[in-house]
Amino acid sequence: MAAQAMPSDDQVQTRMEKEARTLRAGAIIEYYDPIGVCGDSQWFRRSVIIGVEQEHRTCIILNSGPALGGFDRVKRIGSIMPDGQVIASEGGVYMDVKDYHLVESHFEGTGKQGRNFLAEVKAEVDCFWNNNNE
C-alpha cells in the first residue's frame, strides 16, 4: 500500500476557501436585514441556516425566522457540526446568496423534537458568541 503524499499548503487553502463559499443547513452567517441599511449596526444579524432550497425563489431559511433570497448578501462565519460543536470559519466575505455553492439540505426533526433541536442550536451559537466577545 503506497503512502499518500501530504497535501500542499495551496491545496489545503483551496479546500478551506471552497468550504467558506458553501452554504448548507448548519452554516452560521452574518448579514444585514434586507429591509435595513447595510453597515448600520441596528440591522446587523447573525443566524443559523436551517434549510437551503435551490428550486424556490427563497434560497435559505434562517433560525431567526426570515428567509433570504439569491440577491441578499451574507458572510459565512462558521458551522454547527452534527454533534452540536460550533466551528468558526476564517476569511469569509460578503457575497450574494446565489454566488455561494448551495447544498440543498434541512435540519432533521419535526414537531417538538425539531423545536428542541433548534433551541439547542441557538443556545450553542449564543454561548459561542458570548464567549468570543469577552
Q: Is residue 6 part of a domain?
A: no
Q: Is residue 59 part of a domain?
A: yes
8 A C-beta contact, residue 81 and residue 60: no
Give the Cα separation of 80 and 89 in Å (integer): 11
pLDDT at 29: 92
* Domain coverage including residue 62: 14-132
Q: Which residue has the cell 419535526?
A: 110
**How many Cα atoms are found within 13 Å in the side-chain-facing hemisphere of 81?**
6
pLDDT at 7: 54
C-alpha cell at 31: 448579514
- Name the region of 29 (left: φ>0; alpha: ψ -120 to 50; beta: rest): beta
Give the Cα separation of 84 and 64 in Å (integer): 18
pLDDT digits (tens, 9 = 90+) for 14-58: 555 555 588 888 899 999 988 888 888 889 999 988 888 777 666
8 A C-beta contact, residue 82 and residue 75: no
- Tell me if the pTM is above 0.95: no
Task: Say whether pLDDT at 114 is over 50.
Answer: no
pLDDT at 8: 57
Q: Is residue 23 part of a domain?
A: yes
Q: Is residue 8 part of a domain?
A: no
Q: How many domains does the chain have?
A: 1
Q: Is residue 60 part of a domain?
A: yes
Q: Is residue 7 part of a domain?
A: no
